[in-house]
Structures are given as C-alpha cells and as structure tokens.
C-alpha cells in the first residue's frame, strides 16, 4: 500500500544558502531546546541533518496515531530522511544583523517537523529559532541533567481524565508563550556578549565572532551581533499559532505574529483586547470553523493590519513537512495531503509571510511584490474563509 516513503523537501528559493544547528541551554525542563535555521556560507559536501533525529520521536509520533505500535515502521521508513540544509554550516555574517523569527510547533509535533517553512524563510535572510516546547505538547522531547548528562524524556500528555480541556490547554499555551519570550531573552543575552554554553557538545563551534569559525566549543557567541533584535516576530502552526498570538501579549518586543491555521480554542476571551499588534492568519481550507474565524475577526476588527486568508485545497497538515512525504501510507496516517500541490502551498505561505514581515518589520527587501496575497488575492487564495467568502 504506499510503496517507498521519502521526504521531498526542496532547498530554499531565497538568495541565501541555509545552515542549521541544535541548541539546548539549561539542565532542566525549564531550559530551552531549539533548532536554529540561518543563512550560511556555501560549503561543499556539507552533511544534511536527519529530519527525525531520534527513535524516541518516532515512538512519540506513533502514540498519536491509530497505529500506536508503528514506531519501528516509522523509524525504518522515515528514519533516514534528511533536510536539505548544511548541518552546522558556517554562519554567513551580516553587518546589520538578520531579523529573527521564533517558531512554535503544533500539538504532538517537535522542532524539526516544520523544516520546510523554516529553511525557506531562512533562505530569504532570517534567523529562525524553531522551539521544542516542554509543556507536554510535543510528541516527545528531552533535557540533559547537569550531574551526568543523562537524558530525561518528557512525553506527550493527553488531557487528564476529569479535567476540562480548556483549562489544561490554557495552562500549556501560557507556558509555550513564555518559552517564546525566553528564546528572545536568550538571544538578546548572547547578542550583548553574555557567554551561554550549549549543552549539546557538538563538533560545530558556535563561536563565530563576526566572521571566523572555530571548532570544538559549545558557546553560542557566533550569534553575537548577528541578529537585529529590533526586528523580531513570532510564528507558529495550530497550537503554535495561538501561542504566537499570546506571545504578542506577553512580550512587547514582538512586533507582529504569523499564525498558520491557528487553534484559537485555548485563548481566554479576556486577552483578546490585549492583542494590539498585527497578526497574519494563514488558514487551511479544511480545519477552521465559523466560530474560530469569528475569534480571528475579533482581532482584525481592532487592527486593520491583522489579515485573515485561506489557502484553497489545503488541509491542517499542509503547513507541516508531512505533506512532502511521497508515499501514500504516511500521508494517509497523518492526513497530510489536500488537493493543492504541497510546493505551491509552501510558496503561498512563505510569500504571504514575507510580504507581511516586510511591512511590519520595516524591511528593505522586495517582498512587497506579494502584498496582494495579504488581501486574499491570488491563485488558490481567498480572504477570510470559504464559508465567509461571498463568491464561493
């Protein structure tokens, strides 16, 4: 049923080659774990990172499917899939610093499952920090203890029996938004020259000071002076989409948010008036409800720069890398494919996001050429949602 499974991610279409590395700080669940995507210098024969970096993530994904025993199958068929970026590639210096995007994953996902959109945005000149949340919403994650470096795994947690889902998810979304703020604070510390060790003792030296690369260190000082902290945004998918909206309330330095098919359910009503910054909602055709769109419109009614668009032919997982799986088996398991070509969906998403970010981060780029997408004008795009659109 399905033939060979592989991951057909493409290289970014922007002018920069893309590198990535993993960063872990702290020795408890209160620390941070993220994958950084960044513009890098060309490097012949560069290693490409695994898409699913550890077997434990396969087990976590399996537990969220109807086939909870299929972890070995996921590992066997997808465990060798790689992401087309340069693993620990040499950072490309930028005198003005790159704008920063902090990315929040959806329920049951983890830091690598949005590599397609993260590497695409990095190729256009952004540093993208893809978080792995520790609120028990990742399919699996871990931290390393201080004493012996032992890994402590944090499993996915279902809503406890007898507890209302709203209150459980509300607590999680607040933790997630706080973690987004912590990432910004971490990068600000590094940018100011503070020494921050990377718990993951990798070969790659993260100690580039505006140009040179060293090896054998786990410092993060390569980012010193490399990020423009006046141009910072937060982005996410599903649970991560509403996390991005809440992060705007918690941190004034976030200038805007991009929410991919946001799951608005966990955001309490009292917070809507506090979301004063612009949000770009990019929705799939098959996930949102009239009630959810109404919540988004509460925000757009307060800020004319908040936009809501829908990509026709897309489904909820169209924003994830699962949509690029070439075999039928896992596409069926994860309901990953709509009728829209996945590359077209990625192009619409990234171009709309870039146009929005140019406007609200005051970038001097050519991204305004895609401004029409922000009004829902273009191939496979409509404003708001199909059930709200008069012509559909």
| Confidence bin at 209 (pLDDT 50/70/90) | very low
User: Is-catalytic flag, 261?
Assistant: yes
Encode pLDDT of 172-183 as tens digits: 999 999 999 999
Catalytic residue among 133, 316, 317, 360: 316
> In the structure, what pLDDT confidence band is assigned to residue 70 with cuts at 50, 70 and 90?
confident
Token digits of residue 328: 């039928």
- Could you tell me the domains of the chain? 17-388 (3.40.50.1820)
For helices 55-62 and 71-78, the axis angle rounded to 10 degrees is 130
CA distance 17 to 218: 23
pLDDT at 3 over 50: no
CA of residue 110 relative to chain centroid, distance: 9
Answer left, alpha or beta for residue 39, where phi above 0 means left and psi between -120 and 50 means alpha. beta
Question: What confidence category does residue 202 fall into, taking pLDDT thresholds of 50, 70 and 90?
Answer: low
Q: Where are the beta strands (DSSP E) in 305-392?
A: 307-311, 381-383
Q: What is the mean pLDDT of residues 379-392?
A: 70
Q: Which token pair is 264?
A: 């608005």
Does residue 238 carry a catalytic annotation?
yes
SS3 128: strand
Whole-number pLDDT of residue 364: 93
Predicted model pTM: 0.93
pLDDT at 329 over 70: no
Going by pLDDT thresholds of 50, 70 and 90, the confidence category of residue 217 is: very low
Task: Give CA–CA dist 262/246, Å, rounded.
Answer: 11
| CA dist., res. 220 & res. 21, Å (int) | 11
Hey, is 239 helix, strand or coil? helix
Catalytic residue among 22, 228, 261, 321: 261
Specify which residues 383 forms β-bridges with. 309
Count of CA atoms in the C-beta half-sphere (13 A) of 335:
10
Give the chain's end-to-end CA distance (angstroms, integer): 36
For residue 180 the two structure tokens come to 């987004």
Report whether 129 contacts 103 (CB < 8 A): yes
Phi, psi of 87 (to 5 degrees): -70, 120
Of the pLDDT bands very low, low, confident and very high (cuts 50, 70, 90), residue 193 is: confident
Could you say which of 238, 318, 331, 350 is catalytic? 238
- 226 a catalytic residue: no
User: What is the rounded CA–CA span in Å between residue 102 and residue 255?
Assistant: 12
Average pLDDT, the chain: 90
Mean pLDDT of 154-164: 96
| Distances in whole angstroms, Cα of residue 238 to Cα of each of 41, 157, 349 | 33, 17, 14
| Residue 4 or residue 22, greater confidence | 22
Residue 167 has pLDDT above 50, yes or no: yes
Reported as a single tens digit per residue, the pLDDT across 103-150 is 999 999 999 999 999 999 999 999 999 999 999 999 999 999 988 889
Dist. CA 229–CA 206, nearest whole Å: 19
List, for residues 50-63, the tens digit of each pLDDT value: 999 999 999 999 99
CB atoms within 10 A of CB 137: 26
Backbone φ and ψ for 315, nearest 5 degrees, come out as: -125, 175
What average pLDDT does this structure show over 6-31?
95
Overall size of the chain counted in residues: 392
Q: Pick 258 or 200 by higher pLDDT.
A: 258
């Amino acid at each position: 049923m399905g033939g060979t499974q592989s991951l057909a991610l493409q290289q970014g279409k922007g002018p920069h080659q893309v590198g990535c590395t993993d960063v872990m700080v702290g020795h408890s669940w209160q620390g941070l774990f993220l994958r950084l995507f960044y513009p890098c210098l060309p490097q012949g024969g560069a290693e490409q990172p695994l898409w699913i970096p550890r077997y434990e993530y396969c087990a976590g994904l399996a537990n969220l499917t109807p086939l909870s025993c299929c972890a070995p199958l996921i590992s066997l068929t997808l465990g060798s899939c790689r992401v087309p970026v340069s693993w620990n590639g040499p950072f490309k210096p930028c005198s003005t610093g790159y704008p920063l995007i902090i990315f929040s994953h959806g329920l049951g996902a983890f830091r690598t499952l949005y590599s397609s959109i993260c590497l695409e945005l990095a190729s256009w000149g952004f540093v993208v920090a893809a978080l792995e949340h520790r609120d028990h919403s990742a399919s699996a994650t871990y931290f390393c203890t201080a004493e012996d470096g032992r890994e402590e795994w944090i499993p996915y947690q279902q809503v406890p029996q007898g507890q209302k889902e709203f209150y459980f998810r509300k607590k999680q979304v607040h933790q997630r938004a706080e973690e987004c703020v912590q990432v910004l604070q971490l990068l600000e510390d590094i940018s100011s020259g503070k020494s921050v060790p990377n718990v993951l003792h990798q070969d790659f030296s993260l100690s580039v000071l505006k140009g040179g690369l060293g090896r054998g260190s786990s410092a993060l000082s390569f980012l010193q002076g490399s990020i423009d902290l006046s141009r910072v945004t937060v982005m996410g998918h599903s649970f991560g989409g509403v996390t991005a909206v809440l992060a705007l309330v918690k941190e004034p330095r976030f200038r805007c948010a991009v929410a991919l098919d946001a799951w608005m359910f966990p955001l309490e009503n009292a917070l809507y008036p506090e979301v004063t910054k612009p949000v770009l909602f990019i929705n799939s055709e098959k996930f949102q409800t009239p009630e959810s769109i109404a919540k988004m419109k509460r925000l757009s009614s307060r800020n004319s720069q908040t936009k809501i668009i829908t990509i026709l032919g897309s489904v909820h997982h169209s924003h994830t890398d699962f949509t690029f799986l070439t075999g039928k088996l896992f596409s069926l398991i994860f309901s990953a494919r709509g009728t829209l070509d996945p590359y077209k969906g990625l192009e619409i998403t990234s171009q709309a996001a870039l146009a929005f970010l140019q406007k609200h981060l005051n970038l001097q780029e050519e991204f305004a050429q895609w401004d029409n997408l922000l009004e829902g004008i273009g191939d496979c795009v409509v404003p708001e949602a199909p059930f709200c659109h008069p012509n559909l």
